[in-house]
Chains A and B, each alone.
Chain A
Amino acid sequence: MAVDTAPAVTTPAPSRQTSKPTPRWRGREALTAWLFILPSLIGFLIFTAGPVVAAGVISLLNWNLFSAPTWAGLHNFARLGPDPTFWSALGNTAYFTLVSVPLTIIVSLALALLLNQGVRRVAVFRSLLLLPYATITVAVAFVWIWLYIPHDGLVNAVLGWFGISGPAWLISDNWAMPALILMSVWKSFGFGMVVFLAGLQAIPQQLYEAGRVDGTSPWNSFRHITLPMLSPALFFVIVTSMIGSFQVFDQALIMTNGGPGTRTTTLVMYIYRTGFENYDQGYAAAQSLVLFAFIVVITAGQFLFQRRLVHYDN
């Protein structure tokens, strides 16, 4: 398992080993250490690490929670192949991720650049723009259903001013997913914006001044100074956004309930349905491991890519 690929990490501060304790002292230190660790460790083993191992075991069982489980071997994984809902859920999740992540990054970066133009009261704008990120998804999902009301809803009323007759959004085969994506970008862009803004503020002004002396155009200074200096932050936001969008659930459950048909059924929603509506725990566990595998592959791919593109100034 990928041990060192936690997205939030770059380099831990070096731990100095100055004191060389005597063996007797070291024994007491070990005892102290265990006392410090134990409250966390007991809970962690029972409720986090144990369930991870159990997920692997449950995925090999036929189990509906009510009767005794029977051994299924790899049957639950084999069932995924001919299951059209699984493929549909996988496709929908990929669609959601591939559109919402680039959009979120672009919006976040554009707003961070805007706020970094020496605007007065940046903190006020920043807080207000971060507000959607700090709302309850279920609650704001209701408002978005209201905004997307077909014909005369607010979104279509505004489109009407421009002579566009808007689609039926959440009940439309082709527009339900874009509607969810737009809502999700609105909900999450604040996170990236704050990270980028901090990144922009950390870029030394001398770099831009040097560029100005050399007559560099604004676009070139963005490409050759801002983007490379911002690349660690960009990388971090891309990785966390992709992991987050692969787990999209709340807004899809509330706004479309996976429909129309299975057009907006996501992987996590399908896991929920399989496990808690069809009580097919073994199959649901197998699906969750496939979700995990996708997240590992995406993240590992990004870390390989990072070596070539991300600039760390150590």
Chain B
Amino acid sequence: MTTEAMPLASNKALQRKLVVFACFLVTALTLIPVVMMILVAFQSDAESMAAKPSFWPSSWHPENLTRAFELVPLGKYLLNTIYFAAGTTILETVTAALAAYAFARLQFPGRTWLFGIYLATLMIPSQVTLIPQFVLVAKLHGIDTWPGMILPHAFTAIGVFLLRQFFLGIPRDYEEAARLDGANRWQAFVRVIVPLAVPAIATLAVFKFIGQWNNLLWPLVISNSDATRTASVGLQVFQDTNGTQWNLLLMAATVTTIPLIVLFFLTQRWFVRGITMSGLGGR
């Protein structure tokens, strides 16, 4: 792939065609698993569970959709996933923006060491805090409740860190102009900083939301009934109870994945921006 992507060939037109062909080829290969997930979801029971798997459905069974919803409450799981992802995202984004503003702009005793504590936890993998968080939530009778699901994952250091970086890059003059007009800190934050920081805040929110939508380990240990069960855990339960009824299993997988794919296409501007922003951070 690399070699044909390099400007080696003398014939530019041929080279251009090869590049386009290669783009289509790799894209098609990449999409095969997603396409197969949807195709098998519409196969009949017999076809999807035959010893020799079939690829294109010989007959289409849209009723698999309602059957999957009857086997497990997929709608409830999706709603729960939205609660969980939106709850952690909103809490983290709002509190992080406030704290990041103070760390970026305000002088107060202890600022350096307090920010140091935030930074120190940035590298610690979530598995280290998994057991203490579980013990804490269990002691507070938070197992299988929304506060127990959401709170432990809404106060990570990454949000404060990223937004502080962004706020530092906003020229002070903008804010000082507002302050000369008599705005206090809160008004300067709400009217000047937040509107300017919309790209960074949106990026953080999209990343957090998609990350939590995908989170398996935490809901797996905290939620133990349909009341809080998210799509990831619900699918795992589906697999346990219904084995390899491929058409319904992959229908459930399709149903839980498509909202995320739609969301991804709607927000991909922020998503791509977030990836590149983190990748080239500070440059």
Do the two chains bind? yes
- Chain B residues, Cβ within 8 Å of A304: none
CA distance A128 to B35 in the complex (A): 12
Given known A-B contacts A6-B122, A128-B27, A143 and B36 have beta carbons under 8 A apart: yes
Asked, given contacts A136-B231, A146-B36, whether A129 binds B30 with beta carbons under 8 Å apart, the answer is yes
Are A15 and B104 in contact, CB atoms less than 8 angstroms apart? yes
A18-B172, A154-B36, A292-B124 known; A138 and B235 CB under 8 Å?
Answer: yes
| CB within 8 Å for A29 and B108 given contacts A40-B95, A44-B157, A134-B260 | yes
Residues of B within 8 A of A147 (CB): 33, 36
Residues of B within 8 A of A306 (CB): none
Contact residue among A4, A8, A243, A288 (Cβ-Cβ distance under 8 Å from B278) = A8
Asked whether A65 and B135 contact (CB < 8 A) given A9-B282, A186-B33, A291-B128, the answer is yes
Q: How far is the CA of A116 from the CA of B249 in the complex (A)?
A: 38
Q: Is B52 located at the chain interface by the 8 A CB criterion?
A: yes
Min C-beta distance of A297 to chain B, whole Å:
12
Taking residues whose C-beta sits less than 8 angstroms from the other chain, chain A's interface range is: 35 or more
Min CB–CB distance A106 → chain B (angstroms): 9
Q: Using Cβ atoms and an 8 Å threshold, which residues of chain B touch A115?
A: 23
B-facing residues in A202-232 (Cβ within 8 Å): 202, 218-219, 222, 232
What is the distance, in angstroms, from A117's C-beta to the closest C-beta of chain B?
5
A114 touches B40 (CB 8 A): no
Which residues on B sit within 8 Å (CB–CB) of A146?
Answer: 36, 40, 53, 246, 250
Residue A195 is within 8 A (CB to CB) of chain B in the complex: yes
- Which residues of B sit under 8 angstroms from A40, Cβ to Cβ? 95-96, 98-99, 155, 160
Confirm or deny: A172 has a beta carbon within 8 angstroms of a beta carbon on chain B: no
A111 to B176, CA, bound (A): 46
**Do B30 and A132 have beta carbons less than 8 Å apart?**
yes
For A2, A6, A151, the residue with the greatest tally of chain B CB atoms inside 10 Å of its CB is A6
A43 and B236 contact, Cβ closer than 8 Å, known pairs A55-B131, A134-B264, A284-B131 = no
A residues near B (Cβ < 8 Å) are 1-13, 15-16, 18-19, 21, 26, 29-30, 32-34, 36-37, 39-41, 43-44, 46-52, 54-55, 58, 65, 109-111, 113-117, 119, 125-132, 134-140, 142-147, 149, 151-154, 186, 191, 194-195, 198-199, 202, 218-219, 222, 232-233, 236-237, 243, 246-247, 249-250, 253-254, 268, 271-272, 275-276, 281, 284-285, 288-289, 291-292, 295-296, 299, 312
Between-chain CB contacts (< 8 Å), 18 pairs: A2-B120, A12-B165, A47-B133, A47-B154, A54-B132, A110-B1, A110-B5, A114-B22, A119-B23, A136-B232, A143-B34, A143-B250, A154-B55, A194-B279, A243-B125, A250-B216, A281-B135, A312-B283
